[in-house]
Amino acid sequence: MDVLLAFTRPSLDWHALAPELTLLAFGTLITIVDIIWDERSKQAMPTLAGMGLLATLVPILTLAVDGTERSMFGGAYVVDDFSLVLKALFLISGYVVVLMSVDYIRDGDYYENEYYTLMLTSLLGMVMMSSSRDLISVFVALELLSIPAYMLAAWRKGGPRSNEAGLKYYLMGVFASAVMLYGMSLVYGLAGATSFDAIAQELGSGPSNPVAVLGILFVLIGFAFKVSAVPFHTWAPDTYEGAPTPVTAFLAVASKTAGMVALIQLVFVAFLGREDVIQPFFWVISALTMTVGNLIALRQTNIVRLLAYSGIAQGGFMLVPFAVAADAPARAIEAVVIYLAIYAFMNLGAFTVVLAVARKTRSGEIDSYGGLFRYAPGLAVAMTVFLAALAGIPPAGGWFAKFGLFRALLDAGGGWAAGLAVVVAVNTVIAFAYYARVLTQMWFQPVADGDDRPIVVTGALGAALTVTLLATMAFGVLPGLVGHFGEVSVLSALGG
Amino acid sequence: MWMLENAFIIPLIPAISFVVILLFGKRFIGPDRVHVVGITALGLVWVLSALAAFQWTQRVEHPPPDAVVQMASHADDHADDHADDHADDHADDHADDHVVVSENNSGDAHGGGHSSPLIRPVISTFSQWWSNGGIEFSVGTLVDGLTVLLLIVVASISLLVHIYSTEYVKDDRRYVHYYAFLSLFTAAMLFFVMAQNIVQLIVGWELVGVCSFVLIGHWWEEKPNTDAALKAFLTNRVGDIGLLVGIIVLWGTFQTFDIDAINTLIAADPGAHHLALLVAACCLMAAVASKSGQFPLHTWLPDAMAGPTPVSALIHAATMVVAGVYMIARLYPVFYEGLSVGTSSINLMAFIGGFTALIGAALAFAQWDIKKVLAYSTVSQLGYMVMALGVGAWTAAIFHLFTHAFFKACLFLGAGSVSHAAHHTFDMRKMGGLKKDMPHTYRTFVISSLALAGIFPFAGFWSKDEILLGSLVGQKNSYPLMLIFGCVVAVMTAAYMTRVIWYTFHGEFRGEGHPHESPKMMTTPLWILAGMAVIAGVFNLPGPVLEPFGLEGLAHRIQTYVEPSVYLSGLGLSHPDPSLTMALVGLALAVSGIVVTYLYYWRRVGLHGMTERNRYAKNGYTFLENKYYLDHLYNDVIVETVKRPIANWANRVNQNVLDRVVDRAGETARDTGRWIYKWIDQGAIDGSVNAAARGADSSGEGLRAIQSGKIQNYGQLLFGSAAVLAIVFVIVV
Amino acid sequence: MEATGFDTWVLSLAVFLPLVGALVIMMIPKAYEAELKLVALGSSLVALIVGVYSAFQFDYGAAGDLQFVVDKGWIDVINSRYIVGLDGLSLPLLLLSLVVVPLCLIYSWNHVPEPGNTKAFFILLLILSTGMNGTFVAQDMILFFVFFEVVLLPMYFLIGVWGGEERRYASLKFFLYTLFGSALMIISFLALFFLSKDSSGELLHTFDMRVLSDVAGVGIIKNTQVWIFAGLFMGFGIKVPMFPFHTWLPDAHTQAPTVGSVILAAVLLKLGTYGFVRIAIPFLPEGAVSWAPWIGLLAVIGIIYGALACLAQTDMKRLIAFSSVAHMGFVMLGIATLTDFGINAAVFGMVAHGLITGMLFFLAGSVKERFHTLEISRLGGLLKSVPRMGWILGFATMASLGLPGLAGFWGEFPAILSAYNPGAGLPEETFRTYMVIAAVGTVLAAGYLLWLYQRTAFGEPPEEFAGHEIEDVNRLEWIAWTPFLVGIVLFGIWPNLIFNVTDDVVSGITASVEAIVAGG
Amino acid sequence: MVAQNIFFGVIAAIVVVSALRMVTTRNIVHAALYLVAVLAGLGALYILLTAEFVATTQVLVYIGAVMVLFLFGIMLTKAPLGGVMEMTGAQWPIAAVVSLLIGGVTVYSLMARFGSDRLTSDGPIFRTADVSDEVFSTYIVPFEAVSVLLLAALIGAIVLARKD
Amino acid sequence: MLLNQFLILGAVLFAIGVYGVLARRNGVMVLMSIELMLNAVNINLVAFGVQHGVVSGQVFAVFVIAVAAAEVGVGLAIVLLLYRNRRSINVEDFDLMRG
């Protein structure tokens, strides 16, 4: 009984947990509404989900205004500016995905209520991820965001492609998490504790040992899968192609961001002392990812698949700063966060346009974009902005993201960093080559099938488009906006 | 002195005329009346030029204090070096001391009329033209005797050509443009001659080249004309490399573009910068060769006869082609020091000039086109001038330039008049017997020919005599080879002009239609020019000639007024004494040329039928001419005399080598271009770019193989890479 | 000096007014075509007026200093600021850019090339204008970079949508080449940001071009300078374009619509050379000295090579495009000498080439419109069929081959001249060799241009066009062309209009280079 | 201690052999049973490591729940109960190589790092209450998250697996 | 007892699991092989927990077991779904999307 009495109630900072709880509440609400009203509640679901996401932003804002850094459970769960920024990013991305989903899910043969439940659950996992600073939390958060995503990928139940997408995603995801877990077990074994601080202390000191190398490597590989880094990317194109398009957007943006967030925390908090492992690892992985992703993308004919490979390559860009994680930690985090924020909007925007166009053409082939500029100039311009942003051409947002990479690399300096910078430069060029193929179709080619009826953009899609377009341009013209977030996150992540 | 200081007005007038004609010619003035504008402008130019000339003479006669150079001490030092050389000259000076050497500036040690004080040119500069590196460069005018001489020449000839052209190109469809570009040319030429700095020289140089291009290609519907225009321009461009580089070398050496400064600097310290000056002079010689038709860049000039005849008279005989000669004269210290005119036996300039004079004369024999004969004659005469400059006979060269302008212009206009009468042909084989139909043309033509041949007392006699004398005496060393060249050319000149006159005006008329005398508007200029051809010599008569008339004060006017002694004084030039012997020899040579030719044509004396007997001659002849008049092959005469090898060889070389060089150069450049474009640009460079793109594309295709779609393979890749990475890192780290 | 009052707005207005115009046009429905055009022209003209106002207000006595400076926060996190300013180097190029755009709009007034869509065409031109103007006034490297890149997409679309047969290939090639260069350029910018130190050895961490220009690379060791310069060289050199990175240019020019070619030639290529003068040389003097002989080599290769390639062309536009390679070779040679003479000549050459080659492309466009071909062998007798155009072509040809008295000469002659006495630390013999080669290049230039002129303008018009009544230069063309023609003559006759403005800045640059070289 | 080692040796042998058989057997039901053996053996090892709660959970969750799920899965997919279907793909050699590499590098590393480190035998022994204390204090958030996860998995699995 | 006894057992199990997931064609078998790998992790965690004398190893293991259960459930649901649509649980058959 002594033992039982010894239990001290953990001190919970409810304000810090308010975002998670709000999200949880709305998830539960949706489930309950679903159970009670069943079919009749369908109309309300997206609204509810959207409200849930927006409502969750409220405590985030209050926390941000409050500004104090909150740490619980001995540093296992931290709410700081970094986590808040990313939580907000997840929620906004989620909101845009919900907007994208409204018509798509309603018009298709889908389980609608559960769709939103799972979406919110996955987002809950992501929101959790950005605060997690220990192995168990990270692991659970990862699974919490992944498992619903596996199912969402297979959500088009009658579609063999969607099923297959789900299976591939699931199996590869589980493989990867097995490897990651094994790595975590080794890391845990060396540190004897799960919190990142402890791990950093243990790994950062002492001579190199192969178990540490192995542990770190396996953990990183697990997340490299999540961010679809080559050679762990193989699931991504197939899954993206097969999954329902809003889910694809969700995977390409939110899920990848979550993986990156986990990597940031692991690399910059836990493993920073082992730069002899992380820097070469990320050098190789990022270079491979960019190059392979871009090269394969050159040969794609399906727009979603093209965006999938583009996403892989973008992931490669995001991994670049990790290659100088130890040499220029502040700039590296900043670069990744900035990239994530901009990437979220530009990529979601591109997917929104794909959705909007597919509503008319019912096709995912790039050829079907022929002459888009003639009959849907607005969409064509929007797509142009998004693709330009992805390619990193000012004044569309992406340039600042790429700029951040270069900045981190050059801050670190040295031959390897400069070499990677050149690889990035070359890849920027290759990337434009395939973005240009879409541009070419939209602008230079005649209308496909001669069908030039205009495209009706639904309200929700229009809203998604507006949000992403404005954000993308704003980041490009006034990069200070996003740059500010990046800077904030640096201070806290390193401080905490 | 107002005119001298504001000389810029002179080129401005024709420039305005150009703009007016071009912009308003067709619409407001009327296409058939634009010549009024041009002629008015030129009249004004002539008056102002005359005024300038007068004011210059005043300046020389009554120099204002600031116009006289007070010699700096170093000039005296320099003078000592040459004191011995000049001692003889001074001792020999009899009557008329115009020897301008450095040591006699401080007064007129030798008494007698007008010893020349060193008169500064009038230099006016306007505003800042351009600036670079903090240095401001002005545009301005430099007016001295040489300038005003050229002003007079250009203004006179241009005015006459303007007048002449009203008839000659009447009803031409591009009458307006014709006059516009005549005006522009005049403006450019005037601008050129009063250039204050060498950049202005380039500007004028190129502008006259362009006008020449436009006017040669005036009838651009026919390809040969445009070919000729292109050839002229491109050949000049080749020479311009030399001009550019030469001027740059001068800039690099003296850090100034100012002509006055450059000349003064060299004159002040001859011998310094010898290497730079040598390079500069050689480069500039290339430019001179191209512009003034010197060997081996002379080939464009005969082709340029494709332009209207008055244009040939103005540009390709009297003015533009002497630009090279003018430049040498203008920058004489550069050439003098650079090519060591004063010391060595033979220099590049003298040789090129002499050689050009020779082959020009030789080639003139082989032509049937009257204009081409005249063109080669021009080449030859320009060679004469360059040779004169090369032997140090500055004044002689400029004097010859002066006289030559008039009689050659007259000859060209005469040829134009003939062609006007004879159905626009220039082929002498379609002329003949025009003497009676065209009395004015005939008479003026003969007068000018005599002047050209150097027959006493026509203008050419005096100037040619001075050149021969210059070659005889030379500067310090003699130039015997040049003298030989000069003498031979004198004979040949007389001979080929006689041939022209024979074929054109004597014998039977072989053309079509009825020839008639040209209208007054054409003959008047002819007469004026012919008049000048007669009297132009008086401007530089040697003293002994005038002595009997008590007019020795008027002797050597050109030398007095024109020679820029302020620049030349430091060089140690001397003026040879007039020599009656030389004059007689020169005259004899000319007469003999005429006589031989006369006998050949009029009396049928000579070696007709040579070609039938002589294999070489036949071959040579076949090459030269394979249509008509075998019997009359004038070359036979030459073949049998010393000229045969020269003429034949020269022609062969000229046609086969030199002339082809231009074409070949063009073709080669184009072939090279094609080759480079095809293999290097499109093949290697662009090819590698495209290959990189293709490489990326196909490697993308290859990498797609990874994406087999099979979960097992994906798993293998995942775990396999994990294993490999693990192994590598465990080993390496 | 910081500007006050209205002057603070001058440059921003000149830069962004066209963009505002573009945004307004976006709001106007396509059907209101007349209004669209007026707004477009209006905005670009107002920008021009503002530019002219700035030229009048400009203190020419202090042309070496930046004027109308605005320095406001922009991207605080990276310490990049919105700094614009105008000095003697920027002014001529800004005005060139401001003048060219409205003229292009006027030229396209009634005949936007296939497949039409005036609205989009004009919007793109206006955006392009903003990018170009901005590049010339930006005084912060990041701002410069953004403007530098902004021009890419509009030009890509201009070529890709309104271009010729091979437009897709050409536009992509243009884009990828430039993108590659600018990616390396931004790397170099960042290297400058991180490595630049002030004279006391403190790291500066600034993108402010004024500051970087002042410190002139002090504290960056030579080897590093050489590498950073290499990045800048790629970025700017591709844009120029220098041999051997020029192959995008002929394709882009050949395929681009007329005004696209004009803007490309008149302004876009200058961005590269401007970058060399504004950024590469003053920021990295030692790197510049190390690179200069190689730049000079590539420049003279470009001169000869471009000329030879011209001789091989059968297409008029392609020929003009290659002539740009040769002409920009002169500009680069001037820059490579690192002397006042050379760089001033280079700046002059930029303006002159802009006017002259722009004019030539206009002509090519009009010829194409009338004869539907640019095959040189199919043309001929332009002087007869369209005499005025023929004469203008002749004029432009003469200007292009560097005739003294016209603008082209003042870019070439001092550039060649400067190679005789290259700047401190450069091998004299090498540059003198370049000088002679460049001089030979002038002959080749005359060769290909006259050859072009002979075959297109002289002679009788070919059979196929004999019977047709072909319109000579029309009113819109006159309006669009006259400023070009006037400019060519004006700057040719009185080159000090430009030299005087640029000289102070250039002297400052070369003086600092010299000081560094002497000190090092 | 010897007893423990012997016990370990026996259990480990059973586990490894069963695992090997599991991945090589042609009969899917046999495979499932071999898996049961592995899981049970591991449960025994947890006892050996004094981890009673984990051992219990192992038995309850794995053998009780997960194995049942697998058997349902086997039946629902109508997998042949005998060795009719070839269970191993043609690429098994690659799989073997990969697994050997992974196993090799892991074993090598472990040997290199931990060599002959002994397990501390005098450390604290954690009972279920200790585990629960830890779960409900430090790991309360993940714990709650796992509950959400299970719910979501439930909902999702139902949606996906149900016939409609 | 040596720490490595458990760790190496874990490593061997993990490797066998890897072999299983890569070599097996039957979807259910693949899922079963995954369990091998996860159990390997658990051995490590528990063993390390004992080694360091902390309870978190056990806690981690429990979390892993719980999550593994969820994963299996989801996995089987997906396999069933595929079986329903494709009448096959051979993972080699599923390559509709590739390249």
Tell me how close the Cα of D22 comes to any Cα of chain B, in angstroms. 18
Which domain does A387 fall in, by range?
Answer: 274-496
Partner-chain contact B730 D108, CB within 8 Å: yes
Say which residue, A451 or E81, is predicted with more confidence.
Answer: E81
B610 Cβ neighbours under 8 A, 6+ residues apart = B617, B633, B636, B639, B640
Residue D115 domain-assigned (yes or no): no
- Encoded tokens for B536: 């132009």
Residue B33 domain-assigned (yes or no): yes
Cα nearest neighbour of E92 on chain B = B710
pLDDT greater than 70 at residue B105:
no
Partner-chain contact E22 D73, CB within 8 Å: no
- Encoded tokens for B563: 């020679």
Tell me how close the Cα of E98 comes to any Cα of chain B, in angstroms. 4
Residue B659 domain-assigned (yes or no): yes
Least-confidence region, from B87-101, B222-236, B447-461, E4-18: B87-101
Task: Report the residue of B698, B710, B725 to disrupt the A interface, i.e. the one with the largest count of A CBs within 10 Å.
Answer: B725
Band of the pLDDT at B633, cuts 50, 70, 90?
very low
CATH number where E11 lies: 1.10.287.3510
Band of the pLDDT at C296, cuts 50, 70, 90?
very high
| Contacts with E44 from chain A: Cβ below 8 Å | 182, 185-186, 188-189
- Encoded tokens for C388: 């005025």
Cα nearest neighbour of B694 on chain A = A298
| Contacts with D151 from chain A: Cβ below 8 Å | 31
Residue D70 domain-assigned (yes or no): yes
Q: What is the largest CA-CA distance in chain C?
A: 77
Which domain does B50 fall in, by range?
Answer: 1-68+114-130+141-196
Which domain does D163 fall in, by range?
Answer: 126-164
ipTM: 0.87
pLDDT greater than 80 at residue C113:
yes
Band of the pLDDT at B655, cuts 50, 70, 90?
low
Say which residue, B250 or B84, is predicted with more confidence.
Answer: B250
Q: Is residue B245 less than 8 Å (CB to CB) from chain C?
A: yes
- The 8-class DSSP code of residue C203 comes to B
Cα nearest neighbour of E48 on chain A = A189
Distance CA B56, CA B63 (A): 9
Q: Is residue A182 less than 8 Å (CB to CB) from chain E?
A: yes
Q: Is residue B712 less than 8 Å (CB to CB) from chain E?
A: yes
Tell me how close the Cα of B695 comes to any Cα of chain D, in angstroms. 30
Average pLDDT of span C34-48: 92
pLDDT greater than 80 at residue B102:
no
DSSP A20-57: HHHHHHHHHHHHHHHHHHGGGGTTHHHHHHHHHHHHHH
Tell me how close the Cα of B685 comes to any Cα of chain C, in angstroms. 7
Residue E96 domain-assigned (yes or no): no
| Tens of pLDDT, residues D58-86 | 999 888 888 888 888 888 877 655 445 56
Partner-chain contact E23 D91, CB within 8 Å: yes
- The 8-class DSSP code of residue A206 comes to S
pLDDT greater than 90 at residue D3:
no
Partner E, chain A 107-166, Cβ-Cβ below 8 Å: 135-136, 139-140, 143, 147, 150-151, 154, 157-158, 160-161, 163-166
Nearest C-alpha neighbor of A23 from the set B603, D148, B368, D7: D148
Whole-model pTM? 0.89
Chains contacting D (3 or more CB pairs within 8 Å):
A, B, E
pLDDT greater than 90 at residue A282:
yes
Partner-chain contact D38 E53, CB within 8 Å: no
Band of the pLDDT at C488, cuts 50, 70, 90?
very high
Chains contacting E (3 or more CB pairs within 8 Å):
A, B, D
Say which residue, B270 or B49, is predicted with more confidence.
Answer: B49
Residue E8 domain-assigned (yes or no): yes
Residue D84 has a pLDDT of 52
Residue B164 domain-assigned (yes or no): yes
Say which residue, C425 or B112, is predicted with more confidence.
Answer: C425
Distance CA B434, CA B449 (A): 16
Residue D91 domain-assigned (yes or no): no
Q: Is C82 helix (H, G, I), strand (E, B) or coil?
A: strand
CATH number where D65 lies: 1.20.120.1200
Query: Is the Cβ–Cβ distance between A119 and A149 less than 8 Å?
Result: no
| Tens of pLDDT, residues B559-578 | 778 878 777 777 777 777 77
Number of domains in chain D: 2
Residue A333 domain-assigned (yes or no): yes
| Tens of pLDDT, residues B186-217 | 999 999 998 888 888 888 888 888 888 888 88
pLDDT greater than 90 at residue A172:
yes
Q: Is residue E94 less than 8 Å (CB to CB) from chain D?
A: no
Band of the pLDDT at A76, cuts 50, 70, 90?
confident
Residue pairs between chains A and C whose CB atoms are closer than 8 Å: 108
| Tens of pLDDT, residues D72-125 | 888 887 765 544 556 777 788 889 999 999 999 999 999 988 888 888 777 788
Residue B557 domain-assigned (yes or no): no
Residue pairs between chains D and E whose CB atoms are closer than 8 Å: 257
pLDDT greater than 50 at residue C76:
yes
- Look up tokens 């004011």; give the residue: B55
Chains C and A touch (3+ CB pairs under 8 A): yes
Intra-chain end-to-end CA distance of chain B, in Å: 93
Partner-chain contact A178 E34, CB within 8 Å: yes
pLDDT greater than 80 at residue B108:
no
Residue D69 domain-assigned (yes or no): yes
Which domain does E33 fall in, by range?
Answer: 3-91
Pick from D89, D91, D102: CB nearest B723: D102
Average pLDDT of span C495-518: 88
| Tens of pLDDT, residues C173-186 | 899 888 889 889 99
Partner-chain contact A211 D145, CB within 8 Å: no
Cβ-in-10-Å burial (0-12, 13-18, 19+) of D3 comes to: exposed
Residue E11 domain-assigned (yes or no): yes
Partner A, chain B 635-694, Cβ-Cβ below 8 Å: 693
Band of the pLDDT at B618, cuts 50, 70, 90?
low
Residue B612 has a pLDDT of 47
Residue D99 domain-assigned (yes or no): no
Q: Residue E2's beta-bridge partner residues?
A: D118
Residue A284 has a pLDDT of 93
Distance CA B320, CA B313 (A): 10
Residue A259 domain-assigned (yes or no): no
Band of the pLDDT at B94, cuts 50, 70, 90?
very low
Intra-chain end-to-end CA distance of chain D, in Å: 59
Chains A and E touch (3+ CB pairs under 8 A): yes
pLDDT greater than 70 at residue A495:
no
- Encoded tokens for A490: 């640096």
Residue B103 has a pLDDT of 37
Tell me how close the Cα of E32 comes to any Cα of chain B, in angstroms. 15
Number of domains in chain A: 1
Task: Report the residue of A320, A374, A434, A439 to disrupt the C interface, i.e. the one with the largest count of C CBs within 10 Å.
Answer: A439
Distance CA A475, CA A478 (A): 5
pLDDT greater than 70 at residue A142:
yes
Band of the pLDDT at B313, cuts 50, 70, 90?
confident
Query: Is the Cβ–Cβ distance between E71 and D109 less than 8 Å?
Result: no
Average pLDDT of span C28-36: 88
Average pLDDT of span C476-501: 91
Number of domains in chain E: 1
Tell me how close the Cα of B707 comes to any Cα of chain D, in angstroms. 16
Average pLDDT of span A114-138: 92
Cα nearest neighbour of E20 on chain A = A175
Say which residue, B541 or C362, is predicted with more confidence.
Answer: C362
Q: Is residue A478 less than 8 Å (CB to CB) from chain C?
A: yes
Tell me how close the Cα of E20 comes to any Cα of chain B, in angstroms. 11
Query: Which of D82, D110, D138 delimits the end of a domain?
Result: D82
Residue A85 domain-assigned (yes or no): no
Could you state, in order of their start, the residue ranges of all structural domains in chain C? 7-519
| Tens of pLDDT, residues C376-397 | 888 888 888 888 899 899 999 9
Residue B85 has a pLDDT of 41
Residue D119 domain-assigned (yes or no): no
Cα nearest neighbour of A235 on chain E = E98
Band of the pLDDT at C102, cuts 50, 70, 90?
very high
| Contacts with A373 from chain C: Cβ below 8 Å | 120, 161
Chains D and C touch (3+ CB pairs under 8 A): no
- Report the mean per-residue pLDDT for chain A: 88
Residue B110 has a pLDDT of 36
Cα nearest neighbour of A207 on chain D = D113
Least-confidence region, from A63-67, B227-231, B479-483, C46-50: B479-483
Residue C400 has a pLDDT of 92
Distance CA B136, CA B129 (A): 7
Number of domains in chain B: 2
- Report the mean per-residue pLDDT for chain B: 78
Count the alpha carbons within 13 Å of A424 in the hemisphere toward its beta carbon.
35
- Encoded tokens for B231: 């050839």
Band of the pLDDT at B109, cuts 50, 70, 90?
very low
Partner D, chain A 95-114, Cβ-Cβ below 8 Å: 111, 114
Residue E75 domain-assigned (yes or no): yes
pLDDT greater than 50 at residue E58:
yes
- The 8-class DSSP code of residue A458 comes to P
Residue B646 has a pLDDT of 56
Partner-chain contact D66 E39, CB within 8 Å: no
Average pLDDT of span B357-363: 82
Nearest C-alpha neighbor of C186 from the set A391, A340, A425: A425
pLDDT greater than 80 at residue B642:
no
Partner-chain contact D113 A211, CB within 8 Å: yes
pLDDT greater than 60 at residue C324:
yes
